[in-house]
């Protein structure tokens, strides 16, 4: 049975057999020499781009003011999973009922992974539906400056850490799985001929998107209130707008690669006016 048919004109290059809980899968890489490899270089502008802040309270907040929540079905599946795991703990190891439950759990894990991937694809297409360029925090750099020191795995996935478990954020971290989402996003961008530009995330939650003034906040402070220019808005929304701004500036000014460099570029020399 095909998951997807091999498109006409494509040649199968390699095949990999993958064992999953419900059977064996074969993954092919295919090639069509008539498809040109194009490098897309769309120039970002304020109009054709948006900035996106990935977070825990909201999965994503966009610079055009969209707040995207983690879907409820993740929660429901995880709830079912923890119930099954509790039942499993009571069975004697390697007994027949233990084996049956073990298999059920593996299948549920697989279902959750597929639901997540499916949702991430839909979200990526949705976010690109009205823009050409997306500015995004570089998660590798982030190494979680402002997200209570979460640990990242080799693939950029979140690993459980004591602190997040304590504050009840563990589930959200797993649900979020930003590393995978960014990969999906990059694939979708390539498919649509659009662009993802990564921005240094340092300072994006602590500065004002409008005037770059530093507005320090602890992780629990959800509101951005700037005493210098009077901006009042949700902190993640402010971050999304700032990510877009820094992203745009970095494509226009060689000296700007981060909030810090933007601050020294604009705020230390009185002569320069912020765009
Ligand atoms: Zn301000």
Residue 168 pLDDT exceeds 60: no
Query: 117 by DSSP, 3-state: which?
Result: helix
d(CA 229, CA 43): 29
Ligand 1 mean position, distance from CA 69 (Å): 27
d(CA 48, CA 137): 18
Helices 96-128 & 178-192 angle (0-180, nearest 10) = 40
Q: How confident is the model at residue 112 (pLDDT cuts 50, 70, 90)?
A: confident
Ligand 1 mean position, distance from CA 208 (Å): 5
CA dihedral 110, 112, 113, 114 (to 10 degrees): 90
Which pLDDT does position 171 carry in this prediction?
44
Ligand 1 mean position, distance from CA 212 (Å): 6
Ligand 1 mean position, distance from CA 210 (Å): 5
Q: What is the pLDDT of residues 181-213, one digit of tens each?
A: 898 999 999 999 999 999 998 999 999 999 999
The reported pTM is 0.76
Q: What is the pLDDT of residues 70-84, one digit of tens each?
A: 888 888 888 898 899
Ligand 1 mean position, distance from CA 209 (Å): 7
Which pLDDT does position 50 carry in this prediction?
97
Which pLDDT does position 212 carry in this prediction?
94
Classify each residue of 145-177 as buried b or exposed e, where b means 16 or more C-beta atoms within 10 Å of its C-beta. Answer: ebbeebebeeebebeebeebeeeebbbbbbbbb
Ligand 1 mean position, distance from CA 37 (Å): 43
Phi, psi of 23 (to 5 degrees): 135, -170
> Which tokens go with 94?
């390697």
Ligand 1 mean position, distance from CA 215 (Å): 8
């Amino acid at each position: 049975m095909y998951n997807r048919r091999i498109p006409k004109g494509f040649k199968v290059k390699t095949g990999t057999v993958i064992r999953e809980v419900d059977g064996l899968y074969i993954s092919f890489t295919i090639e069509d020499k008539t498809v040109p490899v194009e490098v897309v270089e769309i120039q970002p502008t304020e109009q054709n781009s948006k900035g996106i802040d990935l977070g825990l309270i909201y999965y994503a907040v966009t610079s055009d003011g969209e707040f995207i929540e983690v879907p409820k079905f993740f929660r429901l599946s995880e709830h079912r999973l923890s119930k099954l795991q509790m039942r499993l703990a009571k069975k004697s190891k390697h007994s027949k009922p233990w084996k049956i439950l073990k298999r059920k759990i593996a299948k549920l894990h697989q279902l959750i992974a597929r639901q997540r991937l499916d949702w991430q694809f839909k979200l990526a297409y949705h976010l690109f539906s009205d823009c050409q360029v997306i500015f995004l925090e570089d998660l590798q750099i982030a190494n979680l400056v402002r997200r209570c020191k979460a640990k990242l795995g080799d693939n950029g996935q979140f690993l459980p850490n004591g602190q997040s478990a304590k504050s009840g954020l563990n589930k959200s971290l797993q649900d979020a799985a930003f590393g995978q989402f960014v990969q999906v996003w990059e694939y979708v961008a390539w498919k649509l001929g659009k662009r993802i530009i990564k921005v240094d995330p340092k300072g994006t939650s602590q500065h004002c998107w409008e005037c770059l003034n530093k507005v320090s906040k602890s992780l629990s402070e959800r509101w951005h209130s700037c005493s210098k220019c009077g901006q009042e808005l949700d902190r993640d929304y402010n971050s999304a707008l700032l990510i877009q701004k820094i992203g745009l500036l970095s494509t226009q000014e060689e000296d700007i690669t981060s909030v810090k460099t933007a601050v020294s570029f604009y705020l230390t020399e009185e002569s320069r006016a912020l765009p």
